[in-house]
Amino acid sequence: MAIDGPDLTRQSAATLADAISSGEVSAEEVTRAHLDRIDSVDGAVHAFLHVDRDAALATARAVDAKRSSGAALGPLAGVPIAVKDVLTMAGLPTTCGSRVLEGWRPPYDSTVVERLRAADMVILGKTNMDEFAMGSSTEHSAYGPTRNPWDLERIPGGSGGGSAAALAAFEAPLAIGTDTGGSIRQPAAVTGTVGVKPTYGGVSRYGLVALASSLDQAGPCARSVGDSALLHATIAGHDPRDSTSIDAPVPDVVAAAALGDVRGMRIGLVRELSGEGYQSGVQQLFQRAVEILTNLGADVVEVGCPNFEYALAAYYLILPSEASSNLARFDGMRYGLRVGDDGQASVEDVMSLTREQGFGAEVKRRIMLGTYALSSGYYDAYYGQAQKVRTLIARDFANAFEKVDVLVSPTAPTTAFKIGEKVDDPIAMYLNDIATIPVNLAGNCAMSLPIGLALEDGLPVGLQIMAPALADDRLYRVGSALEQALVDAWGHLLIEEVPSL
């Protein structure tokens, strides 16, 4: 059956790519449908900070011309995509959700954006985020919160809530996020979408405005495991401009997603990532998903990772410490906001005023924590000790992966909470990432995929799959098998149940 009009925004990325390649629809038609959808619903959702309408349509027309000429098209040519506003795009605003970068238009593309362009994908614009990726709710954006399409009174997760909400609102079929402690996976969990944190170094960080350099990782966001695999393959691979980029073959994630078979695989339940503090509806759906994996032929066992209980404390010393160093560059001298430069003020006064007005409360909090942790006399007691805990967590993973192929847990302890409910309680907010943080500390890879709606509130719940470094394909093998089993039971992807806006 032909697809057209509004139906175009509800198709998978793979379906759209095939339809464009065959000439069933044009890339311009697909792009216009998504731009119209953004015009229709983004006033309520606020997923986007900047929509690049003219450039998106120009790219779409170029793809159509390329197809008409008989030139070969890539797997995702002509497919629209949204990009988190922490990745640079030449000539387009990059704010990182902060006033301190207001008006800055970078002169270069990030490697991820370069690869999207090389794949002839249509970049719709930049999505909202917690300021400098510091947050779990996208309430800390200087440009206002993003809302969850499942319930506009609730958060879409963070820090990449804009990218996840754009998917859930059918404003884009694909998106790019970044994950420092769960900022791809937790938004995916609470919006009923799929999000993958690749192996650290598996996707280039060149042009990704740094929060915590040893933790940050860009990755794919989608509405299905198969679509995520196609995007993952597009953006992954070695980049000599990133010193942390891994010079090794990219695991064949597309083939793994197509396989979708867990027979004979060993799956570990992390004892420390369930139980107290987890919403009952989250636990119920997680247990059901584990039963499904067992029925599909996986060997499921419980695994202990005793040092995971210290991950949150270690993370909130390491991240602020690296952030305080990385954010020192935003001083009002070179780019972005400049306050108090009246010709009379000293350089120190301009820097102080710019940072005072340019940074939000959460960013200031973490800069101060990090500066203290790195200060003379406290470095060994705080930052040094946190790095030792990080090593113990990596050893826990290594020991676990000697026994099992992947680990699983709930992605987030609760479903989406209401906007404003936790914004004044930093500790409660930080606990949202309790299950996702260990992966970032160890540099491994992980996926979140939707497993149902919690009985008590009817909101999405996500399951997290964790695999060793450079074993990203295992995520897609397990995720695809579980997704297909759930689709067979439901008759559709969970995202199809999102309320119409």
Catalytic residues: 84, 159, 183
b/e map 220-232, b = 16+ CB within 10 Å: bbbbbbbbbbbbb
Give burial (CB, 10 Å; 0-12/13-18/19+) of 372.
middle
CA 125-129-130 angle, 5° bins: 160
Give the H/E segment covering residue 127: strand 122-127
User: Residues 6 or more apart from 259 whose CB is under 8 A from it?
Assistant: 477, 480
What is the β-pairing status of strands 218-222 and 194-197?
antiparallel
Q: Which residues contact 238 (CB under 8 A, 6 or more apart)?
A: 204, 245, 246, 247, 248
Of 466, 414, 463, give the one whose Cα is nearest residue 439: 466
Separation CA 494–CA 418 (nearest Å): 21
User: Which among 288, 251, 290, 289 is positioned nearest to 268, based on CA atoms?
Assistant: 290
Q: For residue 48, list its beta bridge partners.
A: 127
Do residues 223 and 170 touch, judged by C-beta distance below 8 A? no
Matching residue, tokens 């791809």? 184
- 191, 235 contact by CB (below 8 A): no
Strand 194-197 to 174-178 pairing: unpaired
- Cβ–Cβ under 8 Å, residues 186 and 158: yes
Measured CA to CA, the distance from residue 465 to residue 442 in angstroms comes to: 15
Report the candidate in 210, 213, 244, 242 with the shortest Cα–Cα distance to residue 329. Answer: 210
Nearest residue to 435 via CA among 408, 417, 402, 474: 408
Phi and psi of 234, rounded to 5°?
Answer: -75, -40
User: Encoding tokens for residue 207?
Assistant: 């042009």
